[in-house]
Each structure stands twice: as structure tokens, then as C-alpha cells.
Structure 1
Amino acid sequence: MIIPSLDIFNKKIVRLFQGNYKKKKIYKKDVFKELEKCRLAGVKYVHLVDLEGAKNPKNKQVEFLKSILNKVKINIQVGGGIRSEKDIEDYFSYGAKRIVLGSSVIEDEKNVKNWLLKYGSELIVLALDIKISDKKEVFINGWTKKTDFVLEDLLKKYEDFGLKHVLCTDISKDGTLKGSNINLYKELCLSFKHLCFQSSGGVSSLIDILNLKKNGISEIIIGKSFLEEKFSILEAIKCWRKG
């Protein structure tokens, strides 16, 4: 399915370019109006990212996200700075339908495995952000810190603990509107057929949607294309259904 994405920084909708916080574009769009637009279009899920929390968990925009989750009538998966079971419980209590874990996947493996077992595969999404050289290197802390892990190794670590949903972002594509890394997702879907991958980064046209679905992607995260009206949410949903 199509999952519109809203990245929030200082209570505003923004987009980064290739994960660079210094290349931040602020959109003069109201968060609540954008979410209502998604609801009216028939969107099943929205991806909400706390960019301040992703960079530094101490700066989470908890109260603002809480107000969003309490008011909107649409399913939201939320991520950014979620590091503890209390964070997870809090966001669920506010109304989140899925929790997206990023940095914790690297820094708190034991607890992430326990959370997958406790909450179940439908409620926990692992977000793995990568830069590709000769291998798929994983970055954390809002894409600011390189780790020693490669994507495939992490997927194998969590397979036996109920992992199902994986949000994989090719950082080099994020915010560029230069097309998705189709080969990356094709390879992942073939290698890990039991996982449901959410593609993220670079979607610029309806052709990207068709190609991603054709190559096995379960869900497509789309942000900048919607914000800059390259195509509408309704057009994207219709394209997905026909594809």
C-alpha cells in the first residue's frame, strides 16, 4: 500500500536532502490538514517521523506528536527517538498503531528482540537506513552515525524473533526526487521473501510505484513527491491498485 510520510522538525513539516539536517526544506503546510487530506483520500497508514527525536532522543517532540495522535482519525506508524519500553507504551496509549524502531535496532538488540516478541510482528517496524558502497552500511541517529553493521546481517539477527515489517531507506535517494533504488528492493524481496519491506527514498513518479510493486515491495513510503505535488495521493493509490 501507499504510505504518505510526514517528517516533523520544530512542529513543522520538513524534508531533508539525503539525510542532511543542514539541507532542510520547510513546507508551509499544516500537519493536521495534511493528515486529513490523507484520510479523505482513503490512506490506510501514515508514516510520522520526529526528526528531532531521531537525531537526539532527549529532544523528542512528544507533546506535539501526542496532540496529533489524539486528534487525527487515521492509522499512524510513528518513529524517531523511540528507545525504551516506556516510549513504546506511551505512543501506543496516545494512539499510534505501529512503532518504528531505528537506532535501538543497533544499540539495544536484546530489548528490540523482546519487544518484537511482546508486541508482535504487526505492531513493530524496524527502520534500517543504509548507504551503499561495496555493502549496505547501516546508519543511525537520524542518519548521522555510521555503524559497523550491514543490512543483511541485521535482518538475519531478528528473523527468529518475529520480524515482519522492515522500512529500508536508501539515504542517497532520500529527498532527491530522482527515482527509487529498484535494484536494492528487488534484491531484498528475493532474498527475504517472508519479510514485508517498506521502500523509502526517491519516489518521483507513478512509474516508480509500478516498478516497486512489480519487484515485490509491500508498502511504499512517499514524502516529498506528495508535498511538492508531483502527483496526488489518489493518483498514487489508484496506480498501486492497478499495478
Structure 2
Amino acid sequence: MIEVIPAIDLIDGKCVRLSQGDYDRCTDYNLSPEDMAKRFADHGLTRIHVVDLDGAKASSPRNLHTLEQIARINGVTAEWGGGIKTGQALKDVFNAGATYAIIGSIAAREPQLMTEWLQTYGGEKLILGADVRNGKVAVSGWLEETADTIDDLLARFIPSGLSQAICTDISKDGMLEGPAFGMYTRLQEAFPDVVFTVSGGISSIRDIERLDALGLRRVITGKAIYEGHLTLKELQRYAR
């Protein structure tokens, strides 16, 4: 059964969502991240995807205090992304309570450093974050495109132990129009030893049911929860 991972995106310590990665199209839900994490955990959704959008823009983590508060919630494990550009930032994220760290920009720009981190921390702790726009990986909070495709990054890091990847189709993210089903099934078939997390576009429980039927193993959902298209009660059946 697919694992559902609810999302908390942070700006100034608040829960927000962007549309297609655009900081100018930001919705502030005026909700406490800690309260949301508790609600998720109460419904059995204990692995939580937390993105520091301030950190992604600033190239260093900016909401670690919020991470500390989330990580203290009983049963919660946090996967954290945003601003991890140095070894010290990576240590800070783990010290603040993250169970997993999502590495995006560094993987694309400094592959040797990503390889070193994989060798130090292992593929069970580090997750490749590959955000795709027009077939190319975007970095720095989705503000810049690179020459790499998701396939390029996977082929580069699997020999060093990479086993988890979150792939976001930016054109789908926050649009509530359904995920890029074809992209994820292709990736899962091409790289069967990698656990892919579907990210972007979830609009209803039907999308999750279809992904489950296709054999995908993890899915992130955020905006659909915050705007009432998905209820936590519906998602309870996927609790781990």
C-alpha cells in the first residue's frame, strides 16, 4: 500500500503553499505548523514532509526552530528540505530533529559533495529532491533551471547508495489537477531499486488510489488537504 506523506511548507514559520513554485503566488493558511503536524500524527500520518522555503531562497536553513518543535511530537518523523547547501547545514538539520534530509540544489550543482554525503550518511537518511520543469531539474527554490534531467541525477548517484527520491513536476505543483502519472511510472520502471515519492498535483483521494494501483510507493500531498479536497479521515486508511 502506498504511503501518504502530508506536507508542511514554511515561510516565516507559517504554513503556506506556492503554485508552480512561484513565490509571488503564495497562499498563507495562517496555521501553526506544530498544530498541523499533531493533526497529521493523530490520524496516523506520522512521516511529514517539511520544506523551508525561506531556506531554499536564502541557501541556508531558516526555520530550524519550527523543525525542532515538529520533531518533538510523539511518533513524528520529519523529512526536511530547503537550504541544505553545506555540511554544517546538513548537520544542523539532523541536530534539529530531522530523520531524513532532502538534497536538491547541491546534487545538481556539486555532485561530488552529494556523493560524499551519501557515503557518510547513507541512502536511508538522504533523499534526492529533483524538481522538474520542462524536463530539466530546477534548483534554488525552483528559481533556476539546470541542464540535468532527473534520469541524469539518478544514474549519477545510485552507485553511491542513493535509494530514495522525491520528484516534483513543478507544472503540476499546487494546481490540484492531478499528478504526472506517466512520469512516475516510467521512473519506477527504469529505476526499480529507488523508492520514488510522487509530489505535485494531488487533487483528490482518487489520485492516490490510482497511484496505489500503479504500484507507486509514496506520495506527498499538501494543498489538497489545506483546501479541503482531501480529508485526514480519507487518508487514515494509508496510515503506517
**Pairs within 5 Å for 1:182-197:** 182-197=181-196
Residue type of the alignment partner of 1:81: G
Count of paired positions = 236
Partner of 1:177: helix, strand, or coil? Answer: coil
- Report how far residue 58 of structure 1 moved: 4.5
- Identity %, equivalent residues: 32
Partner of 2:73: 72
Gaps of 5+ in 1: none
Query: Is 1:26 paired with 2:10?
Result: no
Gaps of 5+ in 2: none
Partner of 2:114: 112
Contact 1:131 1:138 in 2 (8 A): yes
CA distance in 2, matches of 1:59, 1:88: 9
Question: Which of residues 37, 46, 57 is equivalent to 2:48?
Answer: 46
Residue type of the alignment partner of 1:22: D
- Report how far residue 233 of structure 1 moved: 2.3
Question: Deviating runs (4+, > 4 A) in structure 1?
Answer: none
Contact 1:66 1:91 in 2 (8 A): no
CA distance in 1, matches of 2:68, 2:35: 16
Partner of 1:225: 224
- Report how far residue 59 of structure 1 moved: 6.5
CA distance in 2, matches of 1:127, 1:95: 19
CA distance in 2, matches of 1:178, 1:102: 24
TM-score when normalising by structure 1: 0.93
TM-score when normalising by structure 2: 0.94
Residue type of the alignment partner of 2:22: N
1:44-78 deviation line (CA, Å, top 9, x unaligned):
30000000111221462333333433x32311011
CA distance in 1, matches of 2:47, 2:124: 13
CA distance in 1, matches of 2:230, 2:180: 19
CA spacing shift, 1:9–1:3, aligned 2, 3 Å: same
CA spacing shift, 1:139–1:193, aligned 2, 3 Å: same
1:161-190 deviation line (CA, Å, top 9, x unaligned):
101110000000000001111111111111
Judge which range, 229-238 or 167-176, deviates more. 229-238
Residue type of the alignment partner of 2:21: G
